[in-house]
A and B are shown apart, each in its own frame.
Chain A
Amino acid sequence: MSTQIQEESEEATETETETAPVERESPGDRRREAKRTASDQRVASEPVGEIEGDTFRLKVFRYDPEVEGKMEPRFDDFTVPREKGMTVLDALIYARDHYDTTLTFRHSCRQAVCGSDAFFINGRQRLGCQTQISDLDGPVRVEPLPHQDVVKDLVVDMEHFYDQMHAVEPFFQGDTPDGDLEEQRQSRENREKIKMSTRCIWCGACMSSCNIAAGDNEYLGPAAINKAYRFAMDDREEDELKEHRMKILDQEHGVWRCQTQFSCTNVCPKDIPLTEHIQELKREAVKQNLKFW
């Protein structure tokens, strides 16, 4: 790891001891201590303790089943310099690079496209890269997404979320046009209709915020239903396909479990009107069933 700056860890821990005395004994510290004595080639860099300017406290959920002292979940405090335009992800990266290299979280594009850094920040599901520190009250509290199993620190098990996504067959299945050079055209209106639903980045914030999904493990969840909406409402797919898609949605644990709490719509980082889409699918399912009567 090239970004790590070892010298700082000890002093940084000292600034933290006031708030989190546990930190001192943590195996991470012991490991770093051992590393420090073993290594001769320490480079002197700017000492901590004197971070210039304004700082804020970052509280991060820690858990690691493989490290003895971290098996019991806890919160660690980090002092992070406040910078203009700093996001929660920036702050986490700072904490990892300057204090504790074992701090684990997913991130990739840093621009709200990859959907890997959804966290529970100050009591709400948000993308770390999209959330400005200046918009939050301190201390900034970062937890893994609720209602998903924690694998390590801020990393949660997304398997169930992906299962639900795949359950709705999230891919285009329309017939390919006859001619080789034939295009499969979509009307402008139809594109507008499904536009918002195509913006999903599979971050799982909605599913995590939904308290029905938390109780009912079989519920498809907002993201999967929105994905199904994207294809069910796409005119380029044939009617039989739409029927097939509606069948998946129209089960007890499909769209009907949505209780219109708007939690998913509130937290969606891409502003997808999830509740609206789910409601439209409910009405669509009722219409279809009335047709068959």
Chain B
Amino acid sequence: MSQSYNRGLVEDFGRWREFTAGMWAWILHKFTGWVLVGYLFTHIAVLSTALPASNAASGVIAAETDVYTTTLQGLESLALVRVLEVGLLAVAVFHILNGVRLLFVDLGVGLEAQDKSFYASLVVTAAIVLASVPTFLEGVF
């Protein structure tokens, strides 16, 4: 065998139509995982404004003009942030539901229904997110 041909990753995204439920579940779980871990870092960064805020005079805190309060409320007043929060909710809910599905798979429970449980987690995610939209966007539009 003198030579051979490496076709590389054949089953790449060019073949997304042929992906099965388990593969989609993995892709989405990984994607939502990256988003959540990225959010965790920024979340702690934003909340770190509590450090200077804690030194503020009690009057400033009572008047809600400390750095922490103004930063958070300033962010929350942006429509973009609110929309991104709905996205974050979708990502978190999917990651939770599919995570539960994966825990069952790890326990060896319901392996025959793994594709159905993935579709179910998608549907439930959509339902929860849609139902939460009013609460999340309240007062910004």
Contact = CB atoms under 8 A, between A and B. Distances in A.
B110 to A, nearest CB: 11
Interface residues of A, number: 32
Those 6 A-B pairs whose CB atoms lie nearest each other, nearest first: A146-B10, A262-B22, A65-B3, A149-B4, A123-B18, A261-B22
Most buried by A among B7, B18, B21, B102: B7
Nearest to A124: B18
Contact of B9 (A120, A147, A151, A283): A147
A209 B114 CA distance: 18
Interface of A: 63, 65-66, 73, 120, 123-124, 143-144, 146-147, 149-151, 157, 209, 211, 214-215, 259-263, 266, 273, 275-276, 279-280, 282-283
B6 A276 contact: no
A214 B108 contact: no
Contact of B5 (A149, A282, A283): A149
A262 B108 contact: no
A280 B15 CA distance: 31
Contact of B23 (A63, A66, A144, A263): A263
Contacts, number: 79
Contact of B15 (A123, A151, A260): A123
B6 A211 contact: no
Interface of B: 1-7, 9-11, 15, 17-18, 20-23, 25-26, 102, 105-108, 111, 114-115
Contacts of B18: 123-124
Given A147-B7, A211-B9, A261-B25, 19 more contacts: A63-B5, A65-B2, A65-B5, A73-B5, A73-B7, A144-B7, A149-B4, A151-B4, A157-B4, A214-B9, A215-B9, A259-B26, A261-B22, A261-B23, A262-B20, A266-B20, A275-B111, A279-B108, A283-B107
Nearest to B25: A261
B91 to A, nearest CB: 19
Nearest to B114: A262
Contacts of B26: 259-261
Contacts of A149: 4-6
A286 to B, nearest CB: 10
B10 A263 contact: no
A124 B23 CA distance: 13
B17 to A, nearest CB: 8
Contacts of A123: 15, 17-18
Contacts of A143: 10
Nearest to B18: A123
B68 to A, nearest CB: 40
B22 A266 contact: yes
A102 to B, nearest CB: 16
A146 B18 CA distance: 14
A279 B106 contact: yes
A157 B105 CA distance: 33
A149 B6 CA distance: 5
A260 B110 CA distance: 13
Contacts of B2: 65-66
Contacts of A66: 2-3
Nearest to B27: A261
B15 to A, nearest CB: 6
Contacts of A120: 10
A220 B44 CA distance: 39
A137 B108 CA distance: 35
A150 B15 contact: no
Nearest to B115: A262
A216 to B, nearest CB: 13
Contacts of A266: 20, 22
